[in-house]
Structure 1
Amino acid sequence: MIAPLQRALIAAEQPVLRAHGLSMWGYVVLNALDSQPVRTQAALAEFIGADKSRIIGVLDELEGNGLLERTRDPADRRARFVTITDEGRRKRRAAQTDIQRNEDRVLAHLAPADRAAFLRALEVLSTLPATEIIGERQT
């Protein structure tokens, strides 16, 4: 039941993100940077679950649009720090507001008590460590 709902919600987000000039990965990057404004590219990639070479194009696009900045780590010239800009923060929040509006519309199909219970359950489940979700692997 979760997978079809997830796919539908992602499909609903796509036009919203396009209207804000963002890709899904761009939005994911901006969300990660808004919660912790400075990260290395490698730490950012690990945090969002992307291969670090995969996000280079996303970072290039976001940087080109003034939504983030990259600077060299003075302690390690091979590493780069990634920082969200004020414009990146503004754009992320505007996109999130529009996405939230649609989620609220969908959740309005639930009775208030059911909606509250559903959101509490999602909060609990979303904070589980990946190892808890995956469980023990069968060999």
Structure 2
Amino acid sequence: MERDDLGAMVSRVGRRLLAMEQPILARHGVSMWAYIVLNALASGPMRTQAALAASIGADKTRLIPVLDDLQQRGLIEREPDPADRRVRLLGLTDIGHARHGAVQAEIRAAEDVMLRDLPADDREAFLRTLAALDR
């Protein structure tokens, strides 16, 4: 059976996911890049802005305004690293954790709707495969 190339299929699914996520992000007052930052910091602080930029595949100069906005809104903090005061640790505030959790819960619920027609075994295999390819 003929199929489209992976890039074409992933691109179409990606566009559907972005279209699904945009209204959720807008309701929470978070841009896509801001959500990516919140997601990256949800598991714990990062040691530098450069490390954060590298981990999410963002240009450091593009990331700085996003970080400034998130900090001004009280969602992240930049604290001096006790081991090296020249370095700033980036982490979520309590408000940032709450906002991330609320956005993620809505996104996951929308993803469940998108995947609901797949049999449970296929859905689990799809998610495992995506996780493996994402490494």
Q: What does residue 125 of structure 2 align with? A: 117
1:1-139 matches, cutoff 5 A: 1-73=9-81, 75=84, 77=86, 79-127=87-135
Tell me, what secondary structure is at the counterpart of 2:42? helix
Whole-angstrom distance in 2 between the partners of 1:91 and 1:25:
14
Q: What does residue 6 of structure 2 align with? A: none
Whole-angstrom distance in 2 between the partners of 1:80 and 1:54:
18
Tell me, what secondary structure is at the counterpart of 2:90? strand
Deviations 1:72-99 (A, max 9, x none): 446253x422121011011001000000
Whole-angstrom distance in 2 between the partners of 1:5 and 1:73:
40
Listed as ranges, the gaps of 5+ residues in structure 2 are: 1-8
Shift of 1:113: 2.1
CA RMSD of aligned residues (A): 1.4
C-alpha contact (below 8 Å) 1:38/1:82 kept by paired residues: yes
For normalisation by structure 1, the TM-score amounts to 0.84
Which stretch of the first structure deviates more once superposed, 117-126 or 101-110? 117-126
Amino acid at match of 1:18: A
Shift of 1:37: 2.0
Shift of 1:103: 0.3
Whole-angstrom distance in 1 between the partners of 2:81 and 2:128:
40
Report how many residues are paired.
Answer: 126
C-alpha contact (below 8 Å) 1:38/1:84 kept by paired residues: no
Percent identity (aligned): 52
Tell me, what secondary structure is at the counterpart of 2:19? helix
Which stretch of the first structure deviates more once superposed, 3-12 or 68-77? 68-77
Shift of 1:2: 1.1
Deviations 1:27-70 (A, max 9, x none): 01011111222331111111111111111110011001100011
For normalisation by structure 2, the TM-score amounts to 0.86
